[in-house]
Amino acid sequence: MMPEMKPPAAPHPLLADLKELTPARVALGRTGASLPTKPLLDFTLDHARARDAVHAAFDAEALVAELGALGLSALRVASRAADRQNYLRRPDLGRRLDEASVAALAGLRGVAGGRLAIVIGDGLSPRAVHAHAAELMRHLVPRLAADDIAIGDVVVASGARVALGDEIGACLKAKMVAVLIGERPGLSTPDSLGAYLTFAPCIGLTDADRNCVSNIHRAGLTYDEAAFKIAWLVRAACARGVTGVALKDESSAAGPPQVAAPTEHGGN
Quick: pLDDT tens for 43-72: 999 999 999 999 999 999 999 999 999 999
- Is 199's pLDDT higher than 70? yes
User: Which tops the pLDDT comparison, 5 or 229?
Assistant: 229
Beta strand pairing call for 74-78 and 154-158: parallel
Q: Which residues in 83-116 are b (16+ Cβ under 10 Å) and which e?
A: ebeebeeeeebbbbbbeebeebbeebeeebeebb
How confident is residue 264, by pLDDT bands cut at 50, 70 and 90? very low
Please give the pLDDT value at position 113: 47
17-31, 34-48, 193-207: lowest mean pLDDT where? 17-31
Q: Is the pTM of this model over 0.75?
A: yes
pLDDT of residue 152 exceeding 80, the answer is no
Q: What pLDDT shows up at residue 129?
A: 98
Residue 156 has pLDDT above 90, yes or no: yes
CA distance 260 to 223: 10
pLDDT score, position 109 = 60
pLDDT at 260: 52
Instruction: Give the pLDDT band (50/70/90) at residue 267.
Output: very low
**What are the structural domain ranges in the chain?**
54-254
Position 268 pLDDT exceeds 50? no
Contact 137, 130 (CB under 8 A): no
The overall average pLDDT reported for the chain is 88
What is the topology classification, in CATH, of domain 54-254?
Rossmann fold (3.40.50)
Average pLDDT over residues 3-10: 59
For the segment 12-33, the average pLDDT, to the nearest whole number, is 77
Q: What is the pLDDT of residues 100-138, one digit of tens each?
A: 999 999 877 654 445 899 999 999 999 999 999 999 999
pLDDT tens sequence across 65-100: 999 999 999 999 999 999 999 999 999 999 999 999
Q: Are the beta carbons of 85 and 157 closer than 8 angstroms?
A: no
> Looking at beta carbons, which pairs linking 209-218 to residues 24 or more positions away fall under 8 Å?
209/243, 209/244, 210/162, 210/243, 210/244, 211/237, 211/243, 211/244, 211/247, 211/249, 213/249, 214/183, 215/183, 215/189, 216/132, 216/136, 216/192, 217/128, 217/131, 217/132, 217/189, 217/191, 217/192, 217/193
